[in-house]
């Protein structure tokens, strides 16, 4: 039979369960978009900028069984999308990137958008494929999908030249997609060894990341068996329910909240699952890991990079944790609940919450009261999407999350501009659930015009813009040691004007006394199936433990002479000005 490349491509995407594609049509992918237009399963979503397309794709991949899929033009479309591709690569999120390609049958050079995409993307993708024949399309899409979701997930890039899309070619058949099973099995001897170490530990602690986000059921069983506290990475915040009495919060070192610092202070063994011990997760490597470290991850490359382990187990977190939980059960290794530990965690959480609520303010919004109010209008099924900035760590420390994959953030790539489009991808995949975006004004300005995409598709997302007129996180890191802010002060941003321009609802929260009233108004307005842009005049004066911990960790590594120089400079600038 003969089929055009565009027909074959869309058929293959349909087979792997793609529901949405994100991108902008151009001369190098028009045939693909024309084919998508007549497809009943897949809806092509037009974006305002390809970086928004890749972030929307991440929103889909993080919060649904479907894989986020980007359909873009070559060259400019690819370079625009690379921030989201890089985020997917460093954060371990599956993403399928399909780019048109310049014609190879014309014999011409210096074509529009002609670029060596393989060289361009190979450092931030798991695999690059160039389609050279119609017969390759369906098997390559199936293989690319498997590449994207298996092992440590990540982005895969497929380039489809224009002549392949346009013209028909011969194919023997159009096979359906059949998932390939991962053949790698977990080493039973290592499971037995892990159980031995865990049962002998007096004060074990559990540290979980995004790689463990689907293993919550077994993490709970193990934590309760060992009466062990559980903390999370930023990206893995949703991997363990905040209401569980053994949950301590984000981090475990100087960058962590007090509940974590206290619970992990005397830890003699750490079970780390689906984590890389990255800079953000460890507060610039200020966290101390015990010698007895059991490290579990699907990617063996992460082992012994920053902290050596006595036992490294390569495997899927759900499978490994299930086997460990069964091993502990067979050994009857069940400790009585440590009531003292649980009470310490509970009290530390309560005290920390109170520390952020020292009295309602009449001229600004306090983070503690903001998140307290937000919890009244959200539920366990609400998806929280954040960006990169000071608001990220406020949400990490002050907003409890109960369900896996219900908190998503840019992490190791740490790219600003993530929230607005990622929330759109999240909402498209979860139409019946509430989706809340929390974003700083600086990050909002990068991709905020994607708000019109949410309006066009009538998505009732509520975006809270923490508006302080600065790039808050960097401004704080400048101000603490330097007492000055360089290129971190933003111009006067009129958020109401932006909302009116795109047709979104607008609410302004100016101080603590109107929080509940305006919060209710925002959620009521969202019932009209339109996004709501909420201008929050946020108070960033109080520092998060993440900010303080990072400054402390970095300063501790300075040589004595440099430490004296930096501290002297800071004192001089703060005293003299």
Residue 180 covered by a domain:
no
Structure tokens at 375: 């919890």
Phi, psi of 233 (to 5 degrees): -80, 175
Sign of CA dihedral 491, 515, 449, 382: positive
> 34 lies in which domain range?
2-170
Regarding whether 155 and 73 lie in a shared domain, the answer is yes
Regarding whether 39 and 146 lie in a shared domain, the answer is yes
Regarding whether 402 and 513 lie in a shared domain, the answer is yes
Residue 334 covered by a domain:
yes
- CA dist list (Å): 20 to 137, 142, 148, 228, 257: 19, 17, 17, 41, 39
pLDDT of residue 97: 98
Angular region, 100: left φ>0, alpha ψ -120 to 50, beta rest: beta
Sign of CA dihedral 333, 335, 336, 337: negative
Q: Is 5 exposed, middle or buried (0-12, 13-18, 19+ CB in 10 A)?
A: buried
Structure tokens at 427: 């909402």
Sequence-ordered alpha helix ranges (H) in 160-249: 162-166, 188-200, 216-226
Sequence-ordered alpha helix ranges (H) in 304-450: 317-330, 339-355, 367-377, 390-398, 419-429, 441-447
- CA dist list (Å): 464 to 184, 260, 505: 44, 28, 12
Please report, for the domain that includes residue 279, its CATH number.
3.40.50.1220
Residue 96 covered by a domain:
yes
Regarding whether 251 and 116 lie in a shared domain, the answer is no
Residue 176 covered by a domain:
no
Regarding whether 150 and 27 lie in a shared domain, the answer is yes
Regarding whether 478 and 392 lie in a shared domain, the answer is yes
Distance CA 468, CA 492 (A): 10
pLDDT of residue 225: 97
Regarding whether 79 and 32 lie in a shared domain, the answer is yes
Residue 533: alpha-carbon gap to chain centroid: 21
Which residue's entry shows tokens 């990050």?
443
Regarding whether 334 and 222 lie in a shared domain, the answer is yes
- CA nearest 410: which of 400, 395, 399? 395
Residue 178 covered by a domain:
no
Where does a domain end: 284, 312, 345? 345
- Asked whether the beta carbons of 221 and 330 are under 8 A apart, the reply is no
Regarding whether 499 and 568 lie in a shared domain, the answer is no
Regarding whether 336 and 370 lie in a shared domain, the answer is no
In the chain, the number of structural domains is 4
Residue 182 covered by a domain:
no
- Asked whether the beta carbons of 74 and 159 are under 8 A apart, the reply is yes
pLDDT of residue 310: 98
Please count the other Cβ atoms lying within 10 Å of the Cβ belonging to residue 201. 19
Which residue's entry shows tokens 């309006």?
455
pLDDT of residue 380: 98
Q: Give tens-digit pLDDT for 207-224.
A: 999 999 999 999 999 999
- Asked whether the beta carbons of 134 and 3 are under 8 A apart, the reply is yes
Residue 181 covered by a domain:
no
Look up the pTM and report it.
Answer: 0.96
Residue 21 covered by a domain:
yes
- Give 346-352 contacts, CB < 8 A, sequence gap 24+: 346/245, 348/248, 348/257, 348/258, 348/259, 348/262, 348/263, 349/249, 349/257, 349/259, 351/258, 352/257, 352/258, 352/259, 352/397
Regarding whether 160 and 65 lie in a shared domain, the answer is yes
Which residue's entry shows tokens 């160039």?
130
On the CB side of 59, CA atoms within 13 Å amount to 33
Low-confidence ranges of the chain (pLDDT < 70): 182-183, 577
Distance CA 354, CA 346 (A): 12
The secondary structure of 495-523 as a DSSP string is HHHHHHHHT-EEEEE-SGGGHHHHHHHHH
Regarding whether 150 and 267 lie in a shared domain, the answer is no
pLDDT of residue 474: 77
Where does a domain end: 128, 143, 170? 170
- CA nearest 20: which of 44, 53, 55, 49? 44
Distance CA 109, CA 120 (A): 18
Please report, for the domain that includes residue 81, its CATH number.
3.40.50.970
Structure tokens at 77: 């479309």
């Amino acid at each position: 039979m003969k089929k055009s490349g565009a027909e074959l491509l869309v058929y293959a995407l349909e087979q792997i369960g793609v529901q949405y594609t994100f991108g902008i049509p151009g001369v190098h992918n028009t045939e693909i978009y024309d084919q998508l237009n007549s497809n009943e399963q897949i809806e092509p979503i037009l974006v305002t900028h390809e970086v928004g397309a890749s972030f929307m794709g991440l929103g889909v991949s993080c919060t649904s069984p479907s894989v986020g899929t980007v359909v873009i033009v070559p060259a400019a479309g690819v370079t625009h999308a690379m921030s989201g591709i890089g985020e997917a690569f460093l954060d371990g999120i599956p993403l399928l990137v399909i780019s048109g390609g310049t014609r190879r049958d014309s014999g011409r050079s210096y074509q529009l958008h002609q670029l060596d995409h393989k060289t361009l993307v190979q450092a931030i993708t798991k695999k690059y494929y160039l389609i050279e024949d119609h017969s390759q399309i369906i098997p390559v899409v199936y293989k690319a999908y498997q590449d994207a979701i298996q092992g440590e997930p990540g982005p895969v890039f497929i380039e489809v030249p224009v002549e392949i899309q346009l013209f028909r070619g011969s194919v023997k058949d159009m096979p359906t997609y059949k998932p390939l099973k991962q053949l790698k099995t977990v080493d039973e001897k290592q499971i037995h060894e892990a159980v031995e170490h865990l049962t002998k530990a007096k004060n074990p602690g559990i540290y979980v990341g995004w790689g463990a986000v689907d293993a919550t059921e077994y993490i709970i069983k193990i934590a309760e068996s060992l009466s062990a506290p559980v903390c999370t990475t930023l990206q893995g915040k949703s991997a363990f329910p905040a209401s569980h009495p053994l949950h301590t919060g984000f981090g475990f070192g100087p960058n962590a909240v007090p509940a974590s610092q206290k619970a992990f202070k005397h830890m003699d063994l750490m079970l780390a699952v689906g984590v890389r011990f990255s800079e953000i997760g460890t507060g610039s490597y200020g966290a101390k890991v015990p010698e007895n470290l059991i490290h579990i991850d699907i990617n063996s490359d992460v082992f012994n990079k920053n902290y050596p382990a006595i036992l490294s187990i390569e495997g899927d977190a759900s499978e490994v944790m299930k086997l460990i939980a069964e091993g502990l059960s067979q050994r009857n290794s069940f400790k009585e609940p440590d009531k003292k530990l649980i009470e310490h965690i509970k009290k530390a959480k309560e005290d920390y919450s109170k520390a952020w609520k020292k009295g309602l303010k009449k001229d600004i919004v306090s983070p503690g009261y903001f998140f307290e109010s937000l919890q009244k209008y959200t539920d366990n099924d609400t998806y929280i999407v954040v960006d990169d900035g000071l608001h990220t760590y406020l949400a990490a420390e002050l907003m409890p999350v109960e369900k896996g994959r219900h908190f998503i953030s840019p992490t190791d790539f740490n790219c600003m501009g993530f929230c607005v489009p990622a929330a759109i991808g999240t909402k498209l995949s979860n139409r019946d659930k509430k989706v809340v975006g929390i974003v700083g004004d600086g990050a909002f300005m990068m991709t905020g015009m994607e708000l019109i995409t949410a309006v066009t598709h009538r998505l009732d997302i509520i975006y809270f813009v923490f508006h302080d007129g600065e790039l808050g996180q960097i401004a704080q890191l400048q101000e603490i040691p330097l007492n000055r802010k360089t290129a971190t002060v933003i111009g006067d941003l009129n958020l109401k004007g932006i909302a009116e321009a795109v047709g979104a609802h607008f609410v302004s929260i100016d101080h603590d006394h109107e929080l509940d009233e305006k919060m209710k108004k925002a959620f009521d307005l969202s019932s009209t199936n339109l996004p709501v842009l909420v201008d929050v005049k946020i108070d960033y004066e109080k520092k998060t433990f993440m900010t303080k911990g990072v400054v402390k960790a970095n300063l501790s590594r300075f040589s004595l002479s440099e430490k004296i120089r930096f501290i002297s400079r800071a004192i001089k600038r703060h005293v003299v000005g």
